[in-house]
Copies of this chain bind each other. A is one copy, B any other.
Amino acid sequence: MLKSIAIMTSGGDSPGMNAAARAVVRTALYEGVKVFGIYDGYKGMLEDRIVELNSQSVSDIIQRGGTFLGTARCPEFKQEETRKEALKILQRHGIEGLVIIGGDGSLTGGSLLSDLGMPIVGLPGTIDNDVWGSDYTIGADTALNTILDAINKLRDTASAHRRIIVLEVMGRKCGWLAMMAGIAGGAEYVLVPEVKYDLNKICDELKTSYDNGRRYSIVVVAEGVGSAVDIGKEIGEKTGIDTRVTVLGHVQRGGSPTAEDRVKASMLGEKAALALLNGQSNIVFGINEGKVVAIDLHDSVNNNKTLDPELVRLARVLSK
């Protein structure tokens, strides 16, 4: 069993990262192993901002959004020289393995670091739910409920005014958040990067439904589809119906994590620590078919997740 490991968060933060980090720390301590926290991701690693943690270090954080370890961008980590430098810093602390919590980009960095010989276990921390091999990523459920809360509020005012509301949510390549929010929020249309749409047809249908007495419509747009401001403008012009646009932005990244994000992040954190301590490496822990699974780190970062077509169909049937 390893004698000393480290934990780091990297890339965009997501709610539940603290719960995952807490589980890694407490599991290591429970097993009698030393555990370090690396502050502000790869940047902090290079600047040697590395501190030993105890059980108290992670108390009172499971309910907090963000990450107590901080995170930062670090473009210079793409250079091998830099990574070798980082490796030396880790070794100087006696760190024999590293858990990285982050999205695709962060896990790719981890994969490169593992090529130099540092054992790495990854955890999928991103609100986009776009990590290949896992049905779940840490933070996605919280972000989804934050969006839903916004839709609940938008519905009130849209209904009062007989308006169309266009809501832009996060998701550059992946429409999961938009599609789930659309189904849960009772949206009429959901525009995602994975599915083609015909805005003229949508506008015709919207016009018909308003002529038939509909009081409001909500259109959810994943940011990868294009600017909601532009799409809203076009819908307003083509339908002649009063149309308003909301861009939620970084509000989606914050907030106290939901129960699901706390429990699943805790489960994944525990498994990551145990696997690393027992000599496993180059894997990402995710949840697949309801169970915690280990995914090959290279596979995970080199494949793209697709959107479940069942969700697309369901959204269509239920909005009628």
- The contact of A63 among B158, B162, B186, B252, by CB within 8 Å, is B186
A23-B310 Cα distance, complex, nearest whole Å: 14
- Find out whether the CB atom of B244 lies under 8 angstroms from the CB atom of A246: no
Task: Tell me the nearest residue of chain B to A255, going by C-beta.
Answer: B153
Q: Is the CB of A144 within 8 A of B314?
A: no
**Residues of chain B with a CB closer than 8 A to A246's CB:** 247-251
Asked if B26 and A317 make an inter-chain contact with CB atoms under 8 angstroms apart, the answer reads: yes
Determine if A318 is an interface residue (Cβ-Cβ < 8 Å): yes
- The interface bits of chain A over 156-193 (1 if a CB of B lies within 8 angstroms of the residue's CB, else 0) are 11111110010000000000000011011110000000
Determine if A160 and B260 form an interchain contact, defined as CB atoms under 8 angstroms apart.
no
Q: Is A67 an interface residue (CB 8 A)?
A: yes
Cα(A72)–Cα(B160), bound, Å: 8
Q: Does A22 reach chain B (CB closer than 8 Å)?
A: yes
Interface residue tally for chain A (C-beta within 8 Å): 84
Instruction: Check if A135 is an interface residue, CB within 8 A of chain B.
Output: yes
User: Which residues of A in the span 21-73 have a Cβ within 8 Å of any Cβ on B?
Assistant: 22-23, 26-27, 29-30, 40, 55, 59-60, 62-67, 70-73
A9 cross-chain contacts in B, Cβ below 8 A: 160
Interface assignment of A115: CB less than 8 Å from any CB of chain B: no
Closest Cβ of chain B to A233, distance in Å, is: 14
Is the Cβ of A160 less than 8 Å from the Cβ of B320?
A: no
User: Who on chain B is nearest to A55 by CB?
Assistant: B320
Within 8 A of B (CB), among A288-320: 288-291, 310, 314, 317-318, 320
From B245, B247, B255, B259, give the contact of A148 (CB < 8 A).
B259
The reply to whether A13 and B270 form a contact with Cβ atoms under 8 Å apart is: no
Q: Tell me which of A27, A72, A154, A270 has the highest count of chain B C-beta atoms within 10 A of its own C-beta.
A: A154
> Is A145's CB within 8 Å of the partner chain B?
yes
* Option from B15, B23, B73 in Cβ contact (under 8 Å) with A156: B15
Is A119 interfacial (CB-CB < 8 Å)?
A: no
8 Å CB contacts to B: which residues of A265-281? 266-267, 270
User: Measured between alpha carbons, how far is A258 from B180 in the docked complex, in Å?
Assistant: 11
How many angstroms from the CA of A22 to the CA of B185 in the assembled complex?
13
- Using Cβ atoms and an 8 Å threshold, which residues of chain B touch A248? 246, 251
Q: How far is the CA of A245 from the CA of B155 in the complex (A)?
A: 23
**Cα–Cα distance between A92 and B72 once the two chains are bound (Å):** 46
Give chain B residues whose Cβ lies under 8 Å from the Cβ of A249: 244-247
Contact A259:B290 (CB < 8 A) given known A72-B162, A314-B267, A318-B26: no
Which B residues are CB-close (under 8 A) to A162?
Answer: 40, 70, 72
Q: Is the CB of B23 within 8 A of A255?
A: no
How many Å from the CB of A72 to the closest CB on chain B? 7
Tell which of A40, A161, A181, A253 has the most Cβ of chain B within 10 Å. A161
List of 6 A-B pairs having minimum Cβ-Cβ separation, nearest first: A153-B254, A65-B156, A66-B156, A156-B254, A13-B160, A246-B249
**Can you sample 15 A-B contacts with CB below 8 Å?**
A13-B156, A13-B160, A22-B318, A30-B317, A62-B184, A63-B185, A66-B155, A145-B258, A146-B153, A153-B253, A153-B254, A156-B255, A288-B290, A289-B289, A290-B290
